[in-house]
Structure 1
């Protein structure tokens, strides 16, 4: 169905190729996962399937890409969009209309389907992705995860032969991600839809795939069945890391398969860890009786929480419960209907967003909203100038810590989503604020980049920073959190140590906790340390 031969591609003004002599075959009805480091060319390779590369991006290209017998490189997106449905990393980039149902129907109207057929297809995808309750909502009022599901629904409504998805679960909570993946599996197995999916949170996808394509930093490719490829791949999910450490064979790809091996192991339970924060003086962030919402819809109700200097607090919860709404209230982008917010002992009422951000910097879900300079390094320098601070050596030091020193002179919007996420993080932290609000900071990051981010966050915490991190990434939360909060409809439903909140949670437990229930283990390091 898809045949790629000796494909080499270089973006305009780039010295090195993004893809280098790539040859690959994808069979009809397969479920293929593309994985590899941030910036290795996964999204670029995906865009070759529908002709966006090179027709939209320009650059130099050699080799061939044939999809369903069509020459994708010469046919371009006008022809290939009939065969290949595309879901981008940033769903906002592909929206045209304002309302959920209208957006899903837009592509169907564009190709001239009869009204009766359009109604049927729209209803099908609304039900398939649990979007029926949102059909009349405006897209701007949806959470990041809800917008991601709308983008997938709009692509599926055209009933493409091939569905290409670029990190489709990056903004979804674990249950929503499972629902979306199960829907894709049903379409793949029941209707023969060929799925090609790029994902960094490999633990979510691995049980469903039958082929893995691994790209390295130089743009080279290896492909094959998961159990053939993964033993030699460094960027692997916890279930594979644990299996390799214990020597389990055949290599388990899911928690269910791994638990069969773990039945013969009686782990020593890890002692419970207190979640008591370092309560020295006043909390850096204090919220009392907060109520907030949009128009007539109440999102947060009677919410109170404290964040102290020198701790990392992770806030989790289902899509749409108000996590991003809470951050908007804290930084002054949304005015609460009731309640108070204190930052560093000062009430937020009447303060500007700029004044608040000097003390509590915020990284939004969409990093592009912070990027406007001509180079990566200049993004950090602009922040320093805006805050009236002199440029320091720490610009280069911070870029190195974020793994961006090699792209310091590049235009930020030409980078991958994961790299842009790190540029935005550098831009908000270069002033060394006393507190940080991070909304899905691991989006687009591979396992190595997430480990580097965790190390950096711990360093800032040890220097006294107060860090509130909103994420659906349970594996990252287990690694980095001092305290975990779970937000339910209206308010907090859990507040405790990662061990007490995550270990036995049916929704938020990391893979190691599921493999070894009752052990109190959360991370690969816990499991490997016990083995010795």
Structure 2
């Protein structure tokens, strides 16, 4: 069989760069295959995708050598429009992909462009909407939809043109765990029912492997480091070496001293043969320690019996009640649209509750202005570009102090001190445009930190980050928590972050608080996971399948073991 995508000794260098981004790529993908492409940020995996869909060299100019064929065409000759007939791309940021005023219009856009008769458009839109399960949303505006629904509409928009290759660029980046599972399920269904070739580029390997893939291609520093079946790859240390997070159950098996082999089929914990590893896992569990109990401290923030609605009679939050101690590191989790960001807006004073109180250090803050709250409660938004307003790093971090009339000498001292804490001091005179996404994130944290807040709220601190950058940001936040005693609240979809870095999780589902417990217990409860669209940790399945009677205790021991390992370097 002839490959549908074939790279032969292909090298590409962007016009603005000295060195190539892709080196000597040799890769063949066959019709109907489903291939997962993984690699750290900057490894070249997005450039690989841009070569396939024609964005390179037309939107991103540069020079290439070697050969590339997609569906018998050379993308550098066929152009973006020519390639759009062969390759449909679903972007990470679905908002950047919508054109129509309604879902139906958006799906129909490509057919209208091709002057397809109206009757045919209607039946084709219905047919594709049925496949991706958005038939009941056809009259809605795309902007009204949730993250998961937007993704389905984007999928429909590229499928309607009957392309041969579907390319998904980080489909899980902005989705809660359960919606992410549904997205992977849907991609799998499309792959099986249509026979199309599917390429998935993703950071979240364990989530992407929820359904079978034929091969995993690992990209590192512009080269293909591995091209193997999942079962083969998970037995190697390639993922660790390349800075890609392995599935948690694989890491746990390695901690227990197990030598994983491909014949036990490690791709899915549900179907993996764990018989050869059971004794070692049980022995590790018996020896591993539980974390020591946390000493109780004074209250930093209390939310008492809080209700809020944007529209009267349609509550967004009901009876929210919890207390956070000084120096705690806590996560707030729940599905998209559960009310997590609304809760942070209430704490910061951007909106006012219908009922209930918010106390800071035991005192009600109802009469404090946004500015007054901002001096003690810092909010770091998910997208750093929405927070940055100055071109230079020093000026951006100094802005909050400058508007409060702090003397210039004190500003300089405090900004330099904060930049040192954040690892940004060497870049103090750089323009922000020269920074990576992760560094920009640090700048936004620094601009809040310089105000000496007592409480720091971070909305999705690691969204879209690869494992190395994720670890850098989280270790940095942990250090702030340990060194400065700042209370840190994280709103997150990342179950690994919640398990690994926070000691407590508040779970919100449909506007109500359904749990306030340690992460290990939250993520081993079927009922909580289902209601809040979380994903039960694979460590739970590993513990149960290895005959361990206390799965949440196993998870607690694993997390404590990992933390100790990291602390000891």
- Is 1:177 aligned with 2:177? no
Superposed, 1:276-315 pairs within 5 Å as 278-280=296-298, 282-284=299-301, 286-293=303-310, 297-315=314-332
CA distance in 2, matches of 1:129, 1:9: 35
> Does structure 1 retain, via aligned residues, the 8 Å contact 2:305–2:355?
no
- Residues 371 and 516 of structure 1: CA distance in aligned 2, closer, same or farther (over 3 Å): same
Match of 2:365 in 1: 347
Structure 2 residue corresponding to 1:395, chosen from 406, 419, 422: 419
- SS at 1:34 equivalent: strand
CA distance in 1, matches of 2:433, 2:315: 37
CA distance in 2, matches of 1:81, 1:142: 25
- Deviation for aligned residue 1:478: 0.9
> Does structure 2 retain, via aligned residues, the 8 Å contact 1:34–1:214?
yes
Q: Provide Cα deviations, 1:303-336, integer angstroms capped at 9, x if missing partner.
A: 2333332112212222222223323333344454
- SS at 1:46 equivalent: helix
User: Considering only aligned residues, what root-mean-square deviation do their CA atoms show, in Å?
Assistant: 3.5
- Residues 132 and 323 of structure 1: CA distance in aligned 2, closer, same or farther (over 3 Å): farther
- Deviation for aligned residue 1:27: 1.5
CA distance in 2, matches of 1:304, 1:437: 17
CA distance in 2, matches of 1:524, 1:64: 51
Q: Provide Cα deviations, 1:475-523, integer angstroms capped at 9, x if missing partner.
A: 2211012111111112111111112222233543222222113332227
* TM-score for the superposition, normalised by structure 2: 0.81
CA distance in 2, matches of 1:464, 1:172: 31
- Is 1:498 aligned with 2:535? no
- SS at 1:17 equivalent: coil
Match of 1:90 in 2: 93
CA distance in 1, matches of 2:468, 2:25: 24
- Residues 180 and 384 of structure 1: CA distance in aligned 2, closer, same or farther (over 3 Å): same
Q: Which runs of 5+ in 2 are unaligned?
A: 545-549
- Is 1:266 aligned with 2:278? no
> Does structure 1 retain, via aligned residues, the 8 Å contact 2:306–2:318?
yes
> Does structure 2 retain, via aligned residues, the 8 Å contact 1:288–1:341?
no
- Deviation for aligned residue 1:129: 4.1
Match of 1:444 in 2: 464
- Residues 54 and 173 of structure 1: CA distance in aligned 2, closer, same or farther (over 3 Å): same
Match of 1:521 in 2: 554
- SS at 2:17 equivalent: coil
Structure 2 residue corresponding to 1:249, chosen from 261, 274, 294: 261
Match of 1:55 in 2: 58
Match of 2:547 in 1: none
Structure 2 residue corresponding to 1:483, chosen from 488, 493, 504: 504
Greater CA drift, 283-292 or 191-200: 283-292
CA distance in 1, matches of 2:507, 2:476: 24
- Residues 116 and 93 of structure 1: CA distance in aligned 2, closer, same or farther (over 3 Å): same
CA distance in 1, matches of 2:375, 2:509: 30
Greater CA drift, 87-96 or 428-437: 428-437
Match of 2:213 in 1: 209
* TM-score for the superposition, normalised by structure 1: 0.86
- Is 1:456 aligned with 2:473? no
- Deviation for aligned residue 1:133: 5.1
- SS at 2:67 equivalent: strand
- Residues 294 and 149 of structure 1: CA distance in aligned 2, closer, same or farther (over 3 Å): farther
Q: Provide Cα deviations, 1:320-378, integer angstroms capped at 9, x if missing partner.
A: 222233233333444544444445545255723x5544433323333332345546676
CA distance in 1, matches of 2:536, 2:121: 40
- SS at 1:521 equivalent: helix
Q: Which runs of 5+ in 1 are unaligned?
A: none
- Deviation for aligned residue 1:432: 4.5
- SS at 1:492 equivalent: strand
- SS at 2:60 equivalent: coil
CA distance in 2, matches of 1:81, 1:176: 27
CA distance in 1, matches of 2:428, 2:107: 37
- Deviation for aligned residue 1:209: 1.5
CA distance in 1, matches of 2:21, 2:364: 49
